[in-house]
Amino acid sequence: MKPLNMKMPVILSLALGLTAALTRYSQAGQETDTGYSIHLLKDCQRVKTLPMTPELIGLYRELLQQETLMASLELPIAAISAKIDDYSQQIDQLSELAIQEDENNLHIDKAYLAQQQVAVEALNQFIGEHQQDFSALEQQGHQIGMIANDFEMAIKTATQGFDYDHIRINSPDNNRVIAGCEQGRRFL
């Protein structure tokens, strides 16, 4: 075997290794386009667009997921809200009827006070029956608050050094052209 033929596999593998290393090196500084970006606005003008890091994307997705869960937990509360309002109005009306006052007299009607007490007890029982809904809503609010705090800290880190007054997040599901302060856009 000729000396060049013996060196050819070594040269070929070095060339391939070098090509692979250069490819990785050239891509190291490039961000992959995930479709998620942070748009910094100042006086309704875009100052900077930054790609979102995997950490930010994860927190953003988690926040959206938790908001969806919160909306589902609010449904029972919305359904019972009208009933709570009815009880409250009934209690207010009975209070007005129970206590009558003019310049010289104060008249307390014990029958209306008793009806008011029954209405208050019914309201308390109704709220007690739905306490688990209120507790779940409170717990979910706490969960969203923790994730939102983490997301806010990560956003502050990513946007440090830029002068802006609004942040807009674009995602694959919400990827419109940023043209300023359009109505109906979601600002953070």
Task: Give the length of the chain.
Answer: 188
- Average pLDDT estimate for 24-47: 72
CA pair distance 44, 102, nearest whole angstrom: 59
Nearest to 152 by CA among 63, 31, 41: 63
As a whole number of angstroms, the distance between CA 31 and CA 51 comes to: 7
Rg (CA), the chain: 32
Looking at residue 119, its amino acid is: A
E-state strands within 63-184? 99-101, 106-108, 166-170
pLDDT of residue 181: 66
**156's tokens:** 């502050």
pTM: 0.63
Residues 137-163: b if buried by 16+ CB within 10 A, e if exposed: eeebeeebeebbebbeebbeebbeeee
Q: What is the mean pLDDT of residues 34-63?
A: 92
pLDDT above 50 (res 160): yes
Confidence of residue 103 (pLDDT cuts 50, 70, 90): confident
Residue 25: what pLDDT? Answer: 40
Domain residue limits, the chain: 54-169
Higher pLDDT, 180 or 184: 180
